[in-house]
Structure 1
Amino acid sequence: MYNSILIKGDQALFGRTTKEMKNKLGISNNRALADYLPTITIKAKDFATEITVFNTKEKNLKNERSISAEHITNNRSVRKILLDRGIKPENLPAEEDIKKLERRVNSESKKLGKNPDRLK
């Protein structure tokens, strides 16, 4: 149920399905779209999700249909804000793979730990 709601939210935010966005950005199907999204898009998705969580509790929404409708509405509203500010989320380029970035940061941290003089 949760994944279905998120997929519908992506479609409302991007104007495209999650699969279409992955294809557009060259992301394999076994990886998460969010691992490649720019920060502004991640924050937009998070904001829409937090509104949904809040309103689900506030309005006592219980079933998938009502929660999905709420999530779609919130993602469309966030999309409108982005578009009003000249930002088309579906046209933003992919960022570096977050997993690859994490490995590089961890590797650099280990190198610094072995040679603290590099910090000077």
Structure 2
Amino acid sequence: MIKSEAIQNLLARFESIACEYEGVECWSARELYPILGYAKWQTFENVLGKAKEACQNAGVETSNHFTGISKTILMPKGASKDIEDFMLTRYACYLVAQNGDPRKSEIAFAQNYFAVQTRVAEVIEQRLLDYDRVQARHKLAETEKRLSGVLYERGVDDKGFGIIRSKG
């Protein structure tokens, strides 16, 4: 079992490499793979491939979550080299975690982390929808009060008000 301080360390490392790419919160796959316990990029590329396939199989546009970019790295003796990287959305990171090696404690952490983050997002979205619904009900109640006041002033009785209300 992964210890509390290790969890805090992984969380801090994961959040510290987050960046904004074209207005979207993203993570560099090259920076992410060592945090997830992978020693070699080539091994992690297999996980990326599975995650992309899962994204595609879910009917989601892969390029919206796995954006290929090129990075320049410094080589020994002052040379530089362009390498392939991917900017991963939070959803892409979730898919990477789901397709990673669950025997790695870092992957197990990431799987739980994204399950919780997904649930938090769902709860927030539901609360926003509930708030909007309550606000709409209040507005409807106020509008109906004003309408009934105007209708009663004009001599419409309860039966007439019911007919008007049922017609919309």
TM-score norm. by structure 2 comes to 0.25
RCO greater where, 1 or 2, for CA within 8 Å and sep 6 or more?
1
Larger Rg: 2
Structure ranking higher in strand proportion = 2
Structure ranking higher in helix proportion = 1
